[in-house]
């Protein structure tokens, strides 16, 4: 069977970003991820994601919107149907997947069984308080810092979940907890989370694209994972 193929959505910024995407690419070259990164999508025409893609030799796709189901489907289809990626007749595909890694736009219209995200907080805390619309990037770490100072939490972490048409509400299949200490700054919290993402995202992504973690895209109870 051919290796699974993954397109990564990574917003980055106009000047930086994309380290999670690069980490996945590196992991796919003899590391923990037995899959091919076949393209990366950003909503910034220039910046860290594009620079990393050029250096790594990965096709870059600028996606300025509109962020409708039809546009998402078109972007993903164009990546997987590009001439260099067409399967030979009779070839068996390892599957096509979408990995969100710092993508800040609401996703619509993609197959929820094959689209997954890494979120920089524990979505299980306070019934998802640290996820949802507007809870991304620095905003997440600010909320975590405030909760820490109020004595409401003693840990944060990362979550990986399947993606539906609602921010951060698809079923969570992995969480890695990170202990916090009083007085930690937003930057220190963000760095601890970033290091956990770099360690765990490729490993858990590999489990997803090889069927060790799966979901039917409809019922949360159908979630299956070799982690439990």
The tens place of each residue's pLDDT in the chain, 228 residues long, gives: 589 999 999 999 999 999 999 999 999 999 999 999 999 999 999 999 999 999 999 999 999 999 999 999 999 999 998 755 544 333 344 589 999 999 999 999 999 999 999 999 999 999 899 999 989 889 999 999 999 999 999 999 999 999 999 999 999 999 999 999 999 999 999 999 999 999 999 999 999 999 999 999 999 899 999 865
Cα 98 from Cα 3, distance rounded (Å): 14
Tokens representing residue 127 in the block:
């019934």
Token pair for 122? 């524990």
Contacts for 150 with CB less than 8 Å, ≥ 6 apart? none
Place of tokens 């990995």: 99
Find the length of the chain. 228
Q: Report all structural domains of the chain as residue ranges with CATH numbers, in order of start.
A: 5-120+158-176+200-225 (3.40.50.170)
* Distance, CA of 24 to CA of 204 (rounded, Å): 11
Quote the pLDDT of residue 82.
73
How far apart CA 173 and CA 160 sit, in angstroms, is 6
What whole-number distance in Å separates Cα of residue 222 and Cα of residue 172?
12
- What phi, psi does 37 have (nearest 5°)? -85, 110
Question: Angle at Cα 215 formed by Cα 133 and Cα 167, nearest 5°?
Answer: 5
- In this structure, the strands spanning 213-214 and 36-42 are unpaired
Based on the number of CB atoms within 10 Å of its own CB, is 3 exposed (0-12), middle (13-18) or buried (19 or more)? middle
Report CA-CA distances (Å) from 180 to 44, 119, 130, 192, 205: 33, 17, 15, 9, 26
| C-alpha–C-alpha distance, residues 43 and 143, integer Å | 25
Q: What is the CA angle 210-214-218, rounded to 5?
A: 150
DSSP label of 130: T
**pLDDT value of residue 136:** 87
- pLDDT at site 94: 59
pLDDT of residue 220: 87
Measure the CA–CA gap between 110 and 51, rounded to whole angstroms.
26
Task: Report the distance separating Cα 38 and Cα 177, nearest Å.
Answer: 30
Residue 88 is predicted with a pLDDT of 36
Query: DSSP assignment of 105-131, as one string?
Result: SPP-SS-TTSEEEEESS-TTGGGGTT-
């Amino acid at each position: 069977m051919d290796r699974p193929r993954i397109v990564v959505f990574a917003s980055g910024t106009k000047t930086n970003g994309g380290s999670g995407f690069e980490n996945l690419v590196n992991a796919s070259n003899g590391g923990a991820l037995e899959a091919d990164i076949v393209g990366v999508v950003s909503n910034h025409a220039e910046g860290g994601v594009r620079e990393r893609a050029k250096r790594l030799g990965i096709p870059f796709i600028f996606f300025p919107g509109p962020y409708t189901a039809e546009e998402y489907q078109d972007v993903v289809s164009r990546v997987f149907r590009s001439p260099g990626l067409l399967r030979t007749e009779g070839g068996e595909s390892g599957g096509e997947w979408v990995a969100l890694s710092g993508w800040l736009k609401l996703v619509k219209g993609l197959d929820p069984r094959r689209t997954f995200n890494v979120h920089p907080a524990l979505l299980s805390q306070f019934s998802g308080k640290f996820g949802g619309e507007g809870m991304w990037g620095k905003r997440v770490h600010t909320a975590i810092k405030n909760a820490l100072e109020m004595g409401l939490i003693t840990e944060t972490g990362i979550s990986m979940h399947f993606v539906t048409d609602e921010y951060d509400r698809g079923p969570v299949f992995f969480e890695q907890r990170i202990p916090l200490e009083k007085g930690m700054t937003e930057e220190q919290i963000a760095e601890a989370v970033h290091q956990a993402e770099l360690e765990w995202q490729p490993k858990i992504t590999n489990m997803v694209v090889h069927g060790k973690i799966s979901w039917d895209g409809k019922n949360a109870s159908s979630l299956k994972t070799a982690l439990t």
